[in-house]
């Protein structure tokens, strides 16, 4: 462990926080879009310093292999999405769909969203973790309602109500954890400090921990988008700006699942509690199967990929529920590949819906002919997210299926069924979207496809070769998760 003279967590958190305040007063929208991308780039640079070592643990902040990996992934996807967001939002203003006064609000909330997610990842205090996840919910609710249409306001309201109920349940679970730890660790923040609690959980009441984890899983599981707590997610994706769909699917769902896994680690540190894995396996499989079948009936392209996100979060939850070195490794790899692939897909989807002027799948056809860069980018993205070789998601699913067969063959059958059903639905929808006679406008788009290309190159390379340091990093996290 290398202790750095300046705590990089302070810099990583200060950059988006101060940027959110600064962007709230910036007027010209072109300047604001560039400042948003600059702030996201600086946050990525600051997060990259964690590769050289971790700062010392404090009562508020903790950095280990797990959250350092997720923080770097969050900063990277946040930066590339901000590059896409710049051109996308400028086009929305030019076409009159978005009024210029809302741009100041949008960019400020984007940076506030990045701040709350990073704060949740680095929080060593369970209460701060809850506050940060709630803050991320509120910022994204405001951005989902950005267009101020009746459908957008309804989607934001549904998002707020359902996730508000979920986060309230998570708060109750957090309070139960505190009540369980207080007799052992005393009152105050010590009984809510994760690093202090881990070494003394074997003396905590297992009954209270069991009850707390149920509320934690249901509460934060709402934010993960697990079935049957998922109803907010398709509406939020369909009605909000597409860059927000990219960071919702690519980042926020990971942060919510990270919170669940932190509490799972507290459970397993006790040794006398119920096994948290079966509950996670159940919700993971349910999410996978429901989303896989629902994909066949989607008519809106953004809702289609929203249900794809539910499917993949189900797979990841299942992987961590299975546990063990291989399943945990597969879950971590799948987390990374899903974040990169789904955010890339939403770049292609955002460009396609802008140029065609619709989100209806039946009215978007022949993209490879009318807009080759968008069309072929979408083809590659859908093949990757569906789990086709040689992309990274195929590798993570292969590892998960083989490890499940080795430990519990009966669970492998519904897992494979859900993956195959979802694969068929996505390929079916891809055929009309990408091929055939073009429909709608054939005007070129000005927004860069660089984030789409960059993400898909990384996902392709990861499917055939993983650098040894990255493998060692994932193995370390897998051991940490138990």
Query: Is 180 inside a domain boundary?
Result: no
What does the CA dihedral 449, 13, 316, 259 come to, rounded to 10 degrees?
-160
% pLDDT > 70, the chain = 98
- Give residue 113's pLDDT: 94
- Give residue 400's pLDDT: 96
**Higher-scoring residue by pLDDT: 296, 438:** 296
Domain match, 97 and 240 both: yes
- Give residue 309's pLDDT: 94
What pLDDT digit, counting tens, does each position of 49-82 carry? 999 888 888 889 999 999 999 999 999 999 999 9
- Give residue 420's pLDDT: 96
What pLDDT digit, counting tens, does each position of 136-148 carry? 989 988 888 888 8
- Give residue 11's pLDDT: 94
% pLDDT > 90, the chain = 57
Domain match, 250 and 285 both: no
- Give residue 57's pLDDT: 85
Query: Is 438 inside a domain boundary?
Result: yes
Residue 58, classified by CB atoms within 10 Å of its CB into exposed (0-12), middle (13-18) or buried (19+), is middle
pLDDT at 4 over 60: no
Question: What pLDDT band is residue 28 in, cutting at 50, 70 and 90?
Answer: low
Domain match, 388 and 470 both: yes
Mean pLDDT of the region 168-172:
94
Domain match, 247 and 345 both: no
- Give residue 461's pLDDT: 95
This model's pTM is above 0.85: yes
Query: Which of 238, 263, 288 is a domain's end point?
Result: 263
Domain match, 360 and 237 both: no
- Dmax over Cα atoms in the chain, in whole Å? 69
Highest mean predicted confidence (pLDDT) among 88-92, 360-364, 452-456: 452-456
Query: Is 200 inside a domain boundary?
Result: no
Query: Is 193 inside a domain boundary?
Result: no
pLDDT at 404 over 80: yes
For the chain, what is the domain count?
2
3-state secondary structure the chain: CCCCCCCHHHHHHHHHHHHHHHHCCCCCHHHHHHHHHHHHHHHHHHHHHHHHCCCCCCCCECCCHHHHHHHHHHHHHHHHHHHHHHHHHHHHHHCCCCCCHHHHHHHHHHHHHHHHHHHHHHECEHHHHHHHHHHHHHHHHHHHCCCCCHHHHHHHHHHHHHHHHHHHHHHHHHHHHHHHHHHHHCCCHHHHEHHHHHCCHHHCCHHHHHHHHHHHHHHHHHHHCCCCCCCHHHHHHHHCCHHHHHHHHHHHHHHHHHHHHHHHHHHHHHCCCCCCHHHHHHHHHHHHHHHHHHHHHCCEHHHHHHHHHHHHHHHHHHHHHHCCHHHHHHHHHHHHHHHHHHHHHHHHHHHHHHHHCCCEHHHCCCHHHHCHHHHHHHHHHHHHHHCCCCCHHHHHHHHHHHHHHHHCHHHHHHHHHHHHHHHHHHHHHHHHHHCCCCCCCCCCCCCCCHHHHHHHHHHHHHHHCCCHHHHHHHHHHHHHHC
- Give residue 2's pLDDT: 46
Domain span including residue 42: 1-175+227-263
**Higher-scoring residue by pLDDT: 114, 152:** 114
Domain match, 350 and 244 both: no
Task: List residues bridging with 193 in a β-sheet.
Answer: 125
What pLDDT digit, counting tens, does each position of 210-257 carry? 999 999 999 999 999 998 888 888 988 888 888 988 988 888 999 999
Mean pLDDT of the region 142-156:
88
- Give the rounded distance of the alpha carbon of 347 from its chain centre: 15
**Higher-scoring residue by pLDDT: 185, 413:** 413
Lowest mean pLDDT among 11-20, 262-271, 328-337, 437-446: 437-446
- Using only C-alpha atoms, the chain has a radius of gyration, in whole angstroms, of 21
Domain match, 306 and 401 both: yes
Domain match, 248 and 160 both: yes
Question: What pLDDT band is residue 27 in, cutting at 50, 70 and 90?
Answer: low
Cα separations in angstroms, 247 against 71, 81, 337: 13, 7, 14
- Give residue 3's pLDDT: 47
Tokens standing for residue 336: 């990374």
Residues 6+ apart with CB under 8 A from 398: none
Query: Is 77 inside a domain boundary?
Result: yes
Lowest mean pLDDT among 107-121, 187-201, 284-298: 187-201
pLDDT at 451 over 80: yes
Mean pLDDT of the region 433-453:
79
Residue 2, classified by CB atoms within 10 Å of its CB into exposed (0-12), middle (13-18) or buried (19+), is exposed
Tokens standing for residue 186: 């005393």
Question: What pLDDT band is residue 202 in, cutting at 50, 70 and 90?
Answer: confident
Q: How far apart are CA 157 and CA 142, in angstroms?
A: 10
What pLDDT digit, counting tens, does each position of 74-128 carry? 999 999 999 998 888 888 888 878 777 788 888 899 999 999 999 999 999 999 9
Domain match, 376 and 439 both: yes
Query: Which of 214, 238, 263 is a domain's end point?
Result: 263
Domain match, 235 and 366 both: no
- Give the rounded distance of the alpha carbon of 36 from its chain centre: 20
Mean pLDDT of the region 150-168:
89
pLDDT at 479 over 60: yes
Mean pLDDT of the region 157-180:
91
Domain match, 345 and 283 both: yes
Query: Is 46 inside a domain boundary?
Result: yes
Domain match, 293 and 388 both: yes
Q: How far apart are CA 347 and CA 302, in angstroms?
A: 11
pLDDT at 40 over 90: yes
Query: Is 207 inside a domain boundary?
Result: no
Smallest Cα–Cα separation from 265: which of 50, 60, 478? 478
Query: Which of 235, 263, 291 is a domain's end point?
Result: 263
Query: Is 269 inside a domain boundary?
Result: no
């Amino acid at each position: 462990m290398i202790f750095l003279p300046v705590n990089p967590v302070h810099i990583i958190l200060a950059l988006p926080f101060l940027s959110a305040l600064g962007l709230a007063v910036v007027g010209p929208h072109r300047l604001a879009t560039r400042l948003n991308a600059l702030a996201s780039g600086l946050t990525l640079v600051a997060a990259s310093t964690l590769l050289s070592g971790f700062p010392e643990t404090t009562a508020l902040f903790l950095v280990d292999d797990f959250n350092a990996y997720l923080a770097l992934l969050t900063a990277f996807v946040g930066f590339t999405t901000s590059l896409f967001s710049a051109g996308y939002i400028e086009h929305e203003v030019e076409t009159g769909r978005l009024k210029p006064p809302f741009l100041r609000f949008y960019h400020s909330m984007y940076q506030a969203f990045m701040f709350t997610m990073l704060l949740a990842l680095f929080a060593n205090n369970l209460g701060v973790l809850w506050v940060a996840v709630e803050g991320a919910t509120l910022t994204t609710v405001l951005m989902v309602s950005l267009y101020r249409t009746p459908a957008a306001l309804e989607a934001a309201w549904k998002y707020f109500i359902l996730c508000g109920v979920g986060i309230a349940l998570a708060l109750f679970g957090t309070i139960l954890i505190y009540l369980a730890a207080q007799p052992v660790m005393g009152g105050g923040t010590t009984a809510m400090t994760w690093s202090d609690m881990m070494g003394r959980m074997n003396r905590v009441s297992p009954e209270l921990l069991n009850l707390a984890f149920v509320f934690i899983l249901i509460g934060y599981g709402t934010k993960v988008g697990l079935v049957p707590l998922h109803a907010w997610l398709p509406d939020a994706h369909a009605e909000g700006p597409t860059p927000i769909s990219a960071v919702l699917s690519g980042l926020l769902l990971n942060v919510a699942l990270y919170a669940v896994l932190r509490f799972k680690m507290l459970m397993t540190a006790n040794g006398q509690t119920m096994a948290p894995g079966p509950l996670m396996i159940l919700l993971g499989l349910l999410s996978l199967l429901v989303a896989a079948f629902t994909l066949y009936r989607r008519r809106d392209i953004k809702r289609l990929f929203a249900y794809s996100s539910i499917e993949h979060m189900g797979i990841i939850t299942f992987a961590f529920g299975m546990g063990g070195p291989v399943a945990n490794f597969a879950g971590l790899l799948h987390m990374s590949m899903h974040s990169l692939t789904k955010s890339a897909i939403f770049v292609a989807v955002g460009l396609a819906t802008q140029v065609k002027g619709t989100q209806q799948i039946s009215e978007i056809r022949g993209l490879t002919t009318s807009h080759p860069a968008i069309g072929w980018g979408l083809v590659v993205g859908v093949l990757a997210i569906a789990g086709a070789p040689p992309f990274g998601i195929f590798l993570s699913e292969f590892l998960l299926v083989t490890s499940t067969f080795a430990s519990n063959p009966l669970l492998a059958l519904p897992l494979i069924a859900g993956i195959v059903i979802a694969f068929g639905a996505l390929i079916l929808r891809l055929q009309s979207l990408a091929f055939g006679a073009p429909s709608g406008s054939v005007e070129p788009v000005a927004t860069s496809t660089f984030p789409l290309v960059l993400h898909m190159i990384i996902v392709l390379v990861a499917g055939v070769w993983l650098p040894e340091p990255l493998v060692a990093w994932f193995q370390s996290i897998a051991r940490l998760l138990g």
